[in-house]
Amino acid sequence: MGTGEGAWDETWNPLASVSGSLGQRVTISCSGSTNDIGIIGVNWYQQLPGKAPKLLIYDNEKRPSGIPDRFSGSKSGNSGTLTITGLQAEDEADYYCQSMDFSLGGHVEFRAWGEVRSKPAEPTVMGLTVQP
């Protein structure tokens, strides 16, 4: 799957926000369907405040050069997961999953977003979980 931003459509599938203490393991789940994540796979982006989105994970689990190994990705069925192992203060950002809708000829992107904040909080929010 390509990693270019291309002409994204305006449809977003919002996830939620999650807060975790520094050093915790944070997982962000992105659920799709057989027409997008199930066939094509998923990319993950990080957007720090005031900056452009940066590619973190592509083709489900591959890290571009320079991305810390505390970020990892996986795919199971129609869902993708981004894991941050050992949350750092600089990981406070918005996170986006991205795929393509195969049923529409790959022309429309499936996208979802969530945010990670480094604050103590309850561990589970709408598909995003924090594990000690």
Query: Distance between CA 93 and CA 89 in Å, rounded?
Result: 10
With a cut of 60, say whether residue 37 has pLDDT above it: yes
pTM confidence score: 0.71
How far does the chain reach from its first CA to its final CA, in angstroms? 32
CA distance linking residue 121 with residue 34, whole number of Å: 33
Domains and CATH numbers, the chain: 13-120 (2.60.40.10)
For the segment 11-20, what is each residue's pLDDT rounded down to a tens digit?
445 555 667 7
Q: What angle (nearest 5°) sits at the alpha carbon of residue 76, between those of residues 34 and 24?
A: 135
What is the reported pLDDT for 85?
92
| pLDDT tens digits for range 47-92 | 888 898 899 999 889 999 999 999 999 888 877 889 999 888 889 8
Structure token digits, residue 80: 């993708």
Amino acid at 36: D
Closest CA to 103 of 37, 57, 54, 45: 37
More confident residue, 37 or 131: 37
pLDDT in tens, 1-13: 433 333 334 444 5
Q: Which residues pair with 113 in a beta bridge?
A: 14, 96
Q: In what order do the strands lie in the sheet with 13-19?
A: 13-19, 109-117, 93-100, 43-47, 54-57
With 90 as the cut, is the pLDDT of residue 98 above it? no
Cβ neighbours of residue 10 closer than 8 Å, sequence gap 6 or more: none
| Cβ(87)–Cβ(116) below 8 Å | yes
